[in-house]
Amino acid sequence: MTVDCVVEDIRWLNIEIVAQRGADMTLLHLGLDPEQFEISVLACDDARISSLNSDFRGKPSPTNVLSWPSDERASEVDGDMPDAPKLPMDSELGDIAIAFETCAREAAEAEKLIEDHTMHLMVHGTLHLLGFDHERDKDAALMEGLETQILGKLGISDPYRER
C-alpha cells in the first residue's frame, strides 16, 4: 500500500509507520491486497481539523479523525458489508486527517499509549474509506467488531471494552 503522509504538525512522531501499518492490516484483514491501494493522510493539529470539520461536516470543532472516501461503498442494509473497491479504478481509497491534540488528549484520558490510540484511529479511518460506518446500530457493531479484531492482530487491546 502506498500511504502518502503530509505532516503539518511535527509532534506526529512515526505517523508514517503507524498509518502504513494500520491501513495495511485493515486491508489484509478484509482479504484485500494492500499493494493495490493508495491512501493520503494529513497529520495535523486541532485548529486544522476543526476547520476541515466545519467545512465538510458543518461542525466547527476539533475531532480526532476525519475520512473522505473516494467513492461511496456503504451498504444500504444496516449491518451488511460494504461493496469492496473495484480495481483498478478504485485503487485510490481516499483521504484521512488526524489531529494531534485530540488524539493525545483521548489517549491520556483512556490511559493508553498515544501510538495505540493513533493506530485505532488509522484503522477506523481506513474502514471509513472502505465504506464502513457507525451511524446505524448494526453498522456500528460490524465496524467496532472489525476494529477490535484488527487491533488484536496488532497487539492492541479492545478499545471498546469497559475497564
What's the full length of the chain, in residues? 163
Q: Are 44 and 100 in contact (CB under 8 A)?
A: yes
Residue 96: beta bridge partners? Answer: 41, 67
User: 3-class DSSP state for residue 76?
Assistant: coil
Whether 124 has a binding-site annotation, put simply, is: yes
Cα–Cα distance between 12 and 22 in angstroms, integer?
15
Q: Does residue 85 have a cis peptide bond before it, meaning omega lies within 30 degrees of 0?
A: no
User: 3-class DSSP state for residue 98?
Assistant: strand
E strands of the chain, at which residues? 2-7, 38-44, 65-69, 92-99
Query: Residue 50: which of 40, 70, 69, 65 has the closest Cα?
Result: 65
Whether 117 has a binding-site annotation, put simply, is: no
Whether 120 has a binding-site annotation, put simply, is: no
Binding residues: 124, 128, 134
Binding residues for Zn(2+): 124, 128, 134
